[in-house]
Structure 1
Amino acid sequence: MSAKPLNVVIYWHMHQPEYRDLRTGHYHLPWTYLHTIKDYVDMAAHLEVNQAARAVVNFTPTLLEQIDDYAKQIESFFLHGTQIRDPLLDALAQPIMPSDREQRLSLIKQCLRANETRLINRYPNYQRLAEFASWLDEHPDAIVYLHDYFLTDILTWFHIAWLGETVRRNNPQVQALIDKGASFNQHDRRTLLQLIGDLCRDVIGRYRRLVEQGQVELSMTPYAHPIVPLLLDIHSARDALPEVELPAVEQYPGGKERVDWHIDRGLAVFEQHFGFRPTGCWPSEGSISEATIRTLSDKGFAWLASGDTVLHNSLQASDAPIDTQCLHTGYRYNDTSTCCFFRDDGLSDLIGFDYATWHADDAVANLIHHLENIAGACQQHPNPIVSIILDGENAWEFYPENGYYFLDALYAGLAENPAIHLTTYSAYLADQPEITSLDRVIAGSWVYGTFSTWIGDAGKNRAWELLVDAKRACDQQLAAREFTPEVREKIAVQLAICEGSDWFWWFGDYNPAESVRDFDHLYRIQLSNLYSLLDLEPPESLGEPISLGGGQPAAGGAMRRGQEED
């Protein structure tokens, strides 16, 4: 080990796309509030109790807006009896269960969307309900004999299972519901709903307090999580994949203007919720290019982060002399002012995929061993820094108790180790470390160092072509028609939602059919809504599915490793 502690940054990316139909405000998928009450609250709680720990946390602006919307909806329900605009959460709130056969079957099916091993089977009562629900899926006609108690119980257990572990352990009302186990009444469900509302209302403030206490640095992503390099230059996909088949479009129309809009809007939303402007940026999916870095530098960001393979591709193309024994440092592209940090794929993917089946202490000991090896290799480097970057929500359902033991051991083990300095990017840069120059950056993302997750196959390319058609229609209508400022703002936001990366992530035969169907359907709704705002009839092509899926990827497709497996 070197005499100087090794700088280590743990960087959690909190992200959900826009699940609302902005015309009605209704949610098509419940993942924002479910990950809020399970993961975002747990991630804050572990930092609150491990006060020596440090972390960087990224929030996408569309996630912040949706969390705030859920909190306001639940508050309005209790104050005014207003219907909640998420059908699953509204079912928990309602005193009477639906009587329609298809509605009942759909509700039961939604209550099975939880990790079977870690969330469902952990509770014998929930497991029995789920087993009967699976039988019912094969015998749907039996639904006529089902009592409402079954629906209220499976709804309640679903939401208990999706609560954060820190909530289950520390909240006596949740403990009372778990002890009761069955025959949940309306009061029980309202109690649970009130707790969900409180968690949604308080979670953003908890991260703000962690910033004030010096434990957390917050960063942001451009507003609706677009793949910025592809908006700026769709041909940048060929930097890392020269033979990739691109959509039948020349470029994304007005891409630079749209990128500026996403960044400016993202900054405004971030400041609205946290009271200050961030100095760092996680470009959507860690996707960067030379033009992206220049844009973020011009916007005043002090740092950004990307993927390991992007760094290796860029170093290979660069003429600058590089210390190949220690690549763990900050980099600066040519004359730009923004410092670039790069994810250690090996360490990040150990947390994302492998450590879930390990004993927590063994996992942390293994991670520290890897960090010791890196420190040894970087002894001659003046200021090495290791970046561990991954989703802040998707891994934990595969861990026992939502990662409770692992996260506690992780923060304690790293914070207490004298050879490791847990820090943040801004704190690291404040010491004015030596930064390595890059004269080339090969465009790519944290996934494989390419954009293959978002462009290049038939479904993804078709989605881009539909988006470009909609953007051209938008440009033509805005030039030819007079729209009020309010409508123009709605058009800009709706277009931004359509430009988000998640739609393209899920298209592809390798993804699960159910998830592909959900995101395919919602993407076409979002595009149709844009045409409606423009007073145009949506094209017939939006009535046809773009992609079907049918694969069985690891972690259900919600996570990927940074590098392709052999």
Structure 2
Amino acid sequence: MSIDTGAANPTENPPVRVVLCWHMHQPSYLDPGTGDYLLPWTYLHGIKDYADMAAHLEANPAARAVVNFSPVLLEQLEDYSRQIAGFLESGERLRDPLLRALAMPTLPVNNPERRQLVEQCQRINRQRLADPFPAFRHLLEIAETVSAHPASMRYLSDAFLVDLITWYHLGWMGETVRRSEPRVQRLIDKGDGFTLHDRRELLGVIGELLAGLPHRYRHLAETGRVELSMTPYAHPILPLLQDLQSARESWPASPMPVVDQYPGGEERARWHLARGLEIFEHTFGHRPHGCWPSEGAVSQATLALLQSYGFRWTASGGAVLDNSLGAEGGGNGQWHRAYTLAPQHPEAEGHAATRCFFRDDGLSDAIGFEFSDWHGDDAVANLVSRMEAIAAGCEAPEQTVISVIMDGENAWEHYPANGFHFLNGLYQRLAEHPGLILTTFAEAADETEPRDLQRLVAGSWVYGTLSTWIGEVDKDRAWELLAEAKQAFDQRAGELDEATRIRAEAQLAICESSDWFWWFGDYNPAEVIRDFDHLYRVQLAALYHTLGQEPPEHLSHAFARQGRGQPERGGVMRHGRAEP
């Protein structure tokens, strides 16, 4: 949607562009050895956040947004859709323990498995997703008592577990689904005593939601209401793959792993982009114009790489631009423009310069951390007023792009009704605003003149550094384990048949995901560190097995220190800037 600058009143400033960019991502929770999913977060966010975010855009035809998907998430959503369909059609085995417990006639009989189910069903935002339903709240109170006294697990009946598991899925259901789906409404009204038919019916709803997600977003893109973009395949930190030492550009004193570089990292970065494009085009039927690099992590080499693949735009955090401009920076307004890197990296020659946009950290973090306890109308009014102030103070409104970039899934469970009132109100208010116009990064890249950026300091949207993924004891140890596994891959890959080599490359990519490094560090919660330490070692061991090698003994032992932190939002989200 281009901006019409020929308004009836030529003295009025043209409207200022606003881009809302929502990033959707979950790492691979699949255990390659068993084929089972070890954690259920992919499908739970699918039925809640991915479904709701599509519905809000469908309900507001004048709204525009960018929705970014990680390809490893798209693969998992497709896999869940297939396995649910296979179970309902022919009884094929469900490969997620929580889904099996929901749908199977019989529940586990041994106490450790039953305890695991009870503990999983407590991993939910009680205030927002459980407390609004008295029946669910009561079940969780019983579950908490049992967890505090594990010996009492043997007294829990199957009827209790059935109701708890059913309510857990009802609690995770998207608000738009609860309001529009009669089968879900019936189960909520029923409240307890759920039958096998009830549970299978709920599984059918889950399967329909997951199967419909790619088609809904594809339709939104084809009708011009959404721009779809991608992240490299398994969500790696590209600057660190390309050059581990790039971490010191924004943090010169950063402690580093004992390995100087990740072996063959440039080639691996290319692999993630090429494979990501394949998955994206398979899912949505077109090639994306833009790439939100994993965690907005960029460097000069990363920008050149994205440009060599023909991406018209990319984006990062506002603090990255601050670091890059240094003393020459031009104040807050500097974030609200497109930039291109000059001089061009030799590798990028012959390709149109990739526009780089920068996140307004204040606006984005306000949605993530401030507004969840506000009345929806008040939150929308406050956010829009901040945008109006930016628009009023900008020197060149026709070149201004206000970029809100944030996690599109984890924030909403902290809002009443999964952000229903806030998101609907925001889309409606911005769609009709005379001075602010919703657009996409692709259109903003085409319609605005970029500023030249003489250098780009490597960093991410988190604090403008790469410190979330390197420079701490456990994070550095994780890089050492990964480099060791990559060396084993390099030594063995040439001897593998083509099918095995392809599997090994994909498994290596999962090991290169940023998510494992995000969660290492004792400032995180102990339970989550335990989960991701285990998951990381499972993925590394699977790589060795694919290579036909015995995994090293140290992968049998946890290496991450026990966490003691209680970070805001449980650590799944962070602020764009370090607190003073």
TM class by smaller structure: over 0.9
The answer to whether 1:407 aligns with 2:403 is no
Q: Distance in 1 between matches of 2:53 and 2:332?
A: 35
Shift of 1:501: 0.1
Shift of 1:455: 0.4
Match runs of 1:18-167 below 5 Å: 18-167=28-177
Partner of 2:567: 553
The DSSP-based 3-state class of the residue aligned with 1:428 is helix
Partner of 2:7: none
Partner of 1:374: 390
TM, length-normalised to structure 1: 0.97
Q: Distance in 2 between matches of 1:39 and 1:92?
A: 20
Partner of 2:526: 513
CA contact (8 A) 1:326 1:377 kept: no
Partner of 1:478: 493
Partner of 2:359: 343
Partner of 1:293: 303
Q: Distance in 1 between matches of 2:493 and 2:187?
A: 54
Partner of 1:329: 337
Q: 1:325 to 1:178 in 2, by over 3 A?
A: closer
Q: Distance in 1 between matches of 2:22 and 2:556?
A: 37
Partner of 1:543: 556
Shift of 1:341: 0.3
CA contact (8 A) 1:57 1:217 kept: yes
Match runs of 1:68-467 below 5 Å: 68-316=78-326, 325-334=333-342, 335=344, 337-431=353-447, 433-467=448-482
Q: Which runs of 4+ in 1 moved over 4 A?
A: 321-326
Shift of 1:234: 0.3
The DSSP-based 3-state class of the residue aligned with 1:246 is coil
The DSSP-based 3-state class of the residue aligned with 1:197 is helix
Shift of 1:477: 1.4
Q: How many residues align?
A: 561
CA contact (8 A) 2:314 2:356 kept: yes
Shift of 1:469: 0.4
Shift of 1:22: 2.3
CA contact (8 A) 1:37 1:199 kept: yes
Q: Distance in 1 between matches of 2:112 and 2:335?
A: 56
The DSSP-based 3-state class of the residue aligned with 1:21 is coil
The DSSP-based 3-state class of the residue aligned with 1:491 is helix
Shift of 1:145: 2.1
User: For residue 554 of structure 1, what is the amino acid of its counterpart?
Assistant: E
Q: Deviations over 1:309-354 (max 9, x none)?
A: 0011001176xx8576554110001135100000000000000111
CA contact (8 A) 1:382 1:434 kept: no
Q: Distance in 2 between matches of 1:80 and 1:238?
A: 55
Match runs of 1:6-17 below 5 Å: 6-17=16-27
Q: Distance in 2 between matches of 1:424 and 1:394?
A: 22
Q: Distance in 2 between matches of 1:23 and 1:262?
A: 23
Structure 2: stretches of 5+ with no match in the other structure: 1-10
Q: Distance in 1 between matches of 2:517 and 2:331?
A: 37
Q: Distance in 2 between matches of 1:220 and 1:263?
A: 9
Q: 1:535 to 1:369 in 2, by over 3 A?
A: same
Shift of 1:64: 0.2
Identity of aligned residues (%): 55
Shift of 1:143: 2.1
Greater CA drift, 23-32 or 287-296 = 23-32
Q: Deviations over 1:355-393 (max 9, x none)?
A: 000111111111111111111221445410010000010
Q: Deviations over 1:439-466 (max 9, x none)?
A: 1000000000001100011000000000
The DSSP-based 3-state class of the residue aligned with 1:27 is coil
CA contact (8 A) 1:326 1:378 kept: no
Structure 1: stretches of 5+ with no match in the other structure: none
Shift of 1:549: 1.5
TM, length-normalised to structure 2: 0.95
The answer to whether 1:496 aligns with 2:504 is no
Partner of 2:3: none
Shift of 1:97: 1.5
User: For residue 385 of structure 1, what is the amino acid of its counterpart?
Assistant: V
Q: Distance in 2 between matches of 1:224 and 1:366?
A: 36
